[in-house]
């Protein structure tokens, strides 16, 4: 076998053979599967099960080491790939088992469609339709973020008095297309917990945790986002950073929702200017439990994201951390009114104490 192949970490293929974790372009048999039969149910599952990391934009797969390798392209040494261990559902993963996206971020302003797999922790929350509805399947009304293989974080208002919330969709790209290259999974919710001090009138402590009925397997398209647990991250205000929001805009201000995933970068603004913006709204509380982000001119906002969806900060441009949850705003990208997000660093202890 090629020496360069031998130096790659070993892994087990989905059919339990010995393999090596290499760029899919160097694995002819999986590459041809991907190109020819990707739509066949078993094939997509096998390819997902073979995933073991990324090499730049290319997925790495567990390739059986009996077959001949294609010659590696020259140039640059790449660090050895990181196989994805299956961590226990109740433990917080560390980068790159979390927060790893195969799509490098460029600065984006003015929501535009997201690339497949850009935010593999993004979830859509499914609610039952009324019996009279002519449409089949769930209504997707909120976003959420996968934080372990078993736990999802969303806004409290997405869960409060919503007996009809029953499932989480992961790995989705376009909610209404089966031809989008995504292979989403729908996982039933086993348990829900809203923050004990959540207030439906002021939206304070607007955070909730959902337990999935079973742990999900991490793949290139489904993996948790990291939580900012390190002390230096917990103390950050994130002001003047440009984190991402992404979602299907399921709750637009009286507008149609987008079925394709949209993404956008918004600047985190000073707490004082946010307080001033909302001072005439007597029910709102702008304090250190929230984070405000948006453009002073308006026009671009979390209406392009989802209520309950994640505000994501790319540390060093590549490690994504959950720093906020879309909570509320005035109308939709109204000039002078930044979006208000639940500040995750204020709830790290609540989250970690509830992981079980």
DSSP letter (8 states) at residue 174: B
3-state secondary structure of 350: helix
| Catalytic residue (one of 50, 204, 307, 327) | 307
Distance CA 34, CA 220 (A): 14
| Catalytic residue (one of 151, 157, 173, 195) | 157
Cβ distance 229 to 352 under 8 Å? Answer: yes
| Catalytic residue (one of 65, 206, 301, 306) | 206
Distance CA 55, CA 125 (A): 31
Cβ distance 208 to 156 under 8 Å? Answer: yes
Cβ distance 285 to 200 under 8 Å? Answer: no
Residues 6 or more apart whose Cβ sits within 8 Å of residue 122: 143, 144, 145, 146, 172, 246, 247, 261, 309, 310
β-strand partners of 117: none
Distance CA 94, CA 6 (A): 27
Helix axes 41-50, 28-36, angle to 10 degrees: 140
Active site residue 307: yes
Could you please report the per-residue DSSP string of 32-92?
A: HHHHHSTTSHHHHHHHHHHEEEEETTEEEEEEETTSPPPPPP-SS--PPP-------TTS-
Active site residue 282: no
Active-site residue set: 157, 206, 307
């Amino acid at each position: 076998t090629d020496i360069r192949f031998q130096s790659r970490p070993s892994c087990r293929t989905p059919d339990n053979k010995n393999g090596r974790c290499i760029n899919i372009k160097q694995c002819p048999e999986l590459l041809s599967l991907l190109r020819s039969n990707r739509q066949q149910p078993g094939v997509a599952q096998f390819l997902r099960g073979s995933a073991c990391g990324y090499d730049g934009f290319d997925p790495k797969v567990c390739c059986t080491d009996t077959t001949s390798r294609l010659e590696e392209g020259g140039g640059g040494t790449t660090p050895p790939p990181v196989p994805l261990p299956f961590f226990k559902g109740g433990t917080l993963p560390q980068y790159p088992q979390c927060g790893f996206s195969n799509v490098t971020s460029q600065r984006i302003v003015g929501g535009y469609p997201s690339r497949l797999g850009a935010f593999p922790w993004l979830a859509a929350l499914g609610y039952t339709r009324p019996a009279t509805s002519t449409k089949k399947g769930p209504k997707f009304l909120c976003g959420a973020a996968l934080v372990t293989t078993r736990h999802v974080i969303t806004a409290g208002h997405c869960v409060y008095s919503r007996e009809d919330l029953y499932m989480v969709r992961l790995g989705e790209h376009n909610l209404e297309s089966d031809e989008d290259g995504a292979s989403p999974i729908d996982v039933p919710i086993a348990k829900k917990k809203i923050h004990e001090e959540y207030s439906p009138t002021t939206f304070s402590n607007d955070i909730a945790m959902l337990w999935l009925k079973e742990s999900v397997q991490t793949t290139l398209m489904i993996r948790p986002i990291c939580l900012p647990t390190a002390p230096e991250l917990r103390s950050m205000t994130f002001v003047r950073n440009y984190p991402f929001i992404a979602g299907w805009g399921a709750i637009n201000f009286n507008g149609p929702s987008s079925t394709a995933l949209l993404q956008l970068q918004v600047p985190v603004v000073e707490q004082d200017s946010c307080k001033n913006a909302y001072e005439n709204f007597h029910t709102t509380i702008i304090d250190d439990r929230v984070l405000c982000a948006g453009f002073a001119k308006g026009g671009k906002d979390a209406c392009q994201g989802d209520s309950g969806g994640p505000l994501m900060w790319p540390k060093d441009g590549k490690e994504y951390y959950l720093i906020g949850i879309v909570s509320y705003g005035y109308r939709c990208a109204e000039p002078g009114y930044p979006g208000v997000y639940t500040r995750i660093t204020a709830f790290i202890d609540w989250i970690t104490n509830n992981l079980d």
